[in-house]
Chain A
Amino acid sequence: MSSHAKAAALDLAAPYRLSPSVALRPEPFGALAYHFGNRRLSFLKAPELVELVRGLDRHPSVGHALAGVPDTRRAAFRRALASLAAADMIVPQRSGTGAPP
């Protein structure tokens, strides 16, 4: 439950990646994300958000990844990422681009 999740606040300056415990299933609306650890299901409701999440580990920071998102959508995408971080769907990488934590 979200109330139990240790509120993992999104750090825009840190590099993130899709949690290794999470699988993404493509769907017409975007993707369904399933976390094998906490058994949560999330819905990514835009294909562009799915791309952003998949490619997160190629960026030195979340902020950097968000910079490539059109202005009109950036705020919504940032909120989506914060929500995904709170659900442990995306997790910080401890060091550098692309390196697993």
Chain B
Amino acid sequence: MTTLHDPPPAERVPALVEQFKGGLNAPICLTWEWTYACNLSCAHCLSSSGRRDPLELSTEEIKSVIDELQRMQVFYVNVGGGEPTVRPDFWELLDYAVGHQVGVKFSTNGLRLTPERARRLAATDYVDIQISLDGATREVNDAVRGPGSYDMAIRAMENLAEAGFGDFKISVVMTRQNVPQLDDFAAIADYYGAQLRITRLRPSGRGADVWDDLHPTSAQQLDIYTWLLAHGERVLTGDSFFHLNALGSDPLPGLNLCGAGRVVCLIDPVGDVYACPFAIHDAFKAGNVRSPGGFDRVWRESALFADLRRPTTAGACSGCPAYDSCQGGCMAAKFFTGLPLDGPDPECVKGHGAAALASVDAGALPRQGKDHSHRTVPLGMPAVRTARPDRLCDESPLAGAPLAQHLKGTS
């Protein structure tokens, strides 16, 4: 969503994407998980959520971080979890954030979106809602997110639409099972007056356990790319498919770079700050909001973020003509599949990732440090595993733009 105009050559300024590489004074896209607790146990949950962590930030601590974000002029945050609405203070914190000029887009599986709550939310400015749905049919969705999760999500959408909550988001993690349903997802979004958002499956959290079975095939990657080129105008992607840009000469709309530590970061439920929502691992931990100087100091001074803001090299990808298009892909996807960070993405569309994966020792893969999964005992029933809402930012600054450039905020 960008208004473009061509400046004369004398006024050509570096593309935003180049400016972003050096980092910003504050994140544009801050994901903030308020709890590891979740009523579901999605198979691909990127934060391995399930059980609350006893060290989670208290109501007062969250408010104090909101105060800090207001001072830093972080205008909105993407709140997730776990299932954030299971926090008893969730609505209080939502109101507090909005009252302090920190808009909230929260991801939910629909648990608490009753008709009455939907009406109250529809009357609240500055709140956006993202419903997670990973299948356009009950069968496909519930296989990943657990029994009952499809009906719960649909009920929440009906309540939001009924309440007149305009333009909420339906957020889909693309899997081998649901790529053929892209048109069906778009139809569901249209039906409820919602906007479709599709994002890439990452091998993060429990996603590592199911990645081999769920990540799209090469043919499906091309389907996603082609579909986005045809329908991308109305569809959000969290800029998560930039690794597919090497499939053709037409770049997908959005930010073609890894924003980790540059424009993006994650605050997890215990206050740890990570470079991105898909990288909950000590290797990507920049600090904690409880430490002196708070989040602001972590964002500005962490050695890890300083490192991520330095110019990168193409590493093993240097010499590949597609590198400018794909930028080497996703750091987290590489890390959790055991690939070097300066090499190809595991889903490299040129096939270099698959080749590299062949020599990875599966037993030596890095594990996410924090597993809050439900301890379930299968009693002849399939374990209920469902993903916690996915999230990432949707801001899509287009590159090569003029002096003033726009994008729609919290969508």
In the bound complex, do residue A73 and residue B3 qualify as a contact, i.e. CB atoms below 8 Å apart? no
In the bound complex, do residue A40 and residue B403 qualify as a contact, i.e. CB atoms below 8 Å apart? no
**Residues from 266 to 325 in B contacting A, C-beta threshold 8 Å:** none
Closest beta carbon of chain B to A36's beta carbon, Å: 7
> With A29-B19, A36-B126 in contact, do A41 and B408 touch (Cβ < 8 Å)?
yes
A-B contact count (CB 8 A): 119
In the bound complex, do residue B402 and residue A79 qualify as a contact, i.e. CB atoms below 8 Å apart? yes
B8 CB-CB contact with A under 8 Å:
yes
**Selected contact of A43 from candidates B101, B103, B404, B409, CB within 8 Å:** B404
Q: Name the B residues within 8 Å of A89 (CB-CB).
A: 404, 406
Q: Name the A residues within 8 Å of B10 (CB-CB).
A: 72-73, 76
- Binary flags per residue of B1-33, CB closer than 8 Å to A gives 1, else 0: 111011110110110100100111110100000
How far, in whole Å, are A49 and B404 apart by their CA atoms in the complex?
Answer: 9
How far, in whole Å, are A47 and B278 apart by their CA atoms in the complex?
Answer: 34
Closest beta carbon of chain B to A32's beta carbon, Å: 7
B410 CB-CB contact with A under 8 Å:
yes
In the bound complex, do residue A39 and residue B1 qualify as a contact, i.e. CB atoms below 8 Å apart? no
Q: Name the B residues within 8 Å of A72 (CB-CB).
A: 10-11
> With A2-B406, A43-B16 in contact, do A23 and B1 touch (Cβ < 8 Å)?
no
> With A28-B22, A36-B126 in contact, do A80 and B410 touch (Cβ < 8 Å)?
no
In the bound complex, do residue B28 and residue A86 qualify as a contact, i.e. CB atoms below 8 Å apart? no
> With A26-B25, A45-B402 in contact, do A40 and B7 touch (Cβ < 8 Å)?
no
How far, in whole Å, are A87 and B28 apart by their CA atoms in the complex?
Answer: 19
In the bound complex, do residue A32 and residue B403 qualify as a contact, i.e. CB atoms below 8 Å apart? no
Q: Name the B residues within 8 Å of A84 (CB-CB).
A: 404
In the bound complex, do residue B75 and residue A23 qualify as a contact, i.e. CB atoms below 8 Å apart? yes
Tier of interface size on chain A: 35 or more
Q: Name the A residues within 8 Å of B404 (CB-CB).
A: 42-45, 49, 80-81, 83-84, 89
Closest to B408 in A: A40
B64 CB-CB contact with A under 8 Å:
no
Q: Name the A residues within 8 Å of B395 (CB-CB).
A: 41
Closest beta carbon of chain B to A54's beta carbon, Å: 14
**Residues from 46 to 101 in A contacting B, C-beta threshold 8 Å:** 46, 49, 72-73, 75-77, 79-84, 86-87, 89
How far, in whole Å, are A32 and B26 apart by their CA atoms in the complex?
Answer: 10
How far, in whole Å, are A75 and B14 apart by their CA atoms in the complex?
Answer: 18
How far, in whole Å, are A26 and B24 apart by their CA atoms in the complex?
Answer: 9
Closest beta carbon of chain B to A78's beta carbon, Å: 10
- Binary flags per residue of A27-39, CB closer than 8 Å to B gives 1, else 0: 1110010111011
In the bound complex, do residue B73 and residue A25 qualify as a contact, i.e. CB atoms below 8 Å apart? yes
> With A2-B1, A27-B25, A28-B22 in contact, do A39 and B403 touch (Cβ < 8 Å)?
no
In the bound complex, do residue B411 and residue A39 qualify as a contact, i.e. CB atoms below 8 Å apart? yes
In the bound complex, do residue B73 and residue A79 qualify as a contact, i.e. CB atoms below 8 Å apart? no
B389 CB-CB contact with A under 8 Å:
no
B405 CB-CB contact with A under 8 Å:
yes
Q: Name the A residues within 8 Å of B24 (CB-CB).
A: 27-28, 32
In the bound complex, do residue B409 and residue A83 qualify as a contact, i.e. CB atoms below 8 Å apart? no
A13 CB-CB contact with B under 8 Å:
no
Closest beta carbon of chain B to A26's beta carbon, Å: 6
Q: Name the B residues within 8 Å of A1 (CB-CB).
A: 1, 408
- What are 29 pairs between A and B in contact, CB < 8 Å? A2-B1, A2-B3, A2-B406, A23-B75, A25-B25, A26-B25, A27-B24, A28-B19, A28-B23, A28-B24, A35-B409, A36-B75, A39-B126, A39-B410, A39-B411, A40-B408, A41-B28, A41-B407, A41-B409, A42-B406, A42-B407, A43-B406, A79-B7, A79-B402, A80-B402, A80-B404, A83-B402, A87-B3, A89-B406
4 further interface pairs, Cβ-Cβ under 8 Å (given A41-B395, A83-B402): A23-B101, A25-B26, A39-B409, A75-B8
The 9 closest A-B pairs by CB, nearest first: A39-B409, A76-B11, A80-B403, A80-B404, A76-B7, A25-B73, A34-B75, A42-B406, A29-B19
Contacts from A to B (Cβ < 8 Å): 1-2, 23, 25-29, 32, 34-36, 38-46, 49, 72-73, 75-77, 79-84, 86-87, 89
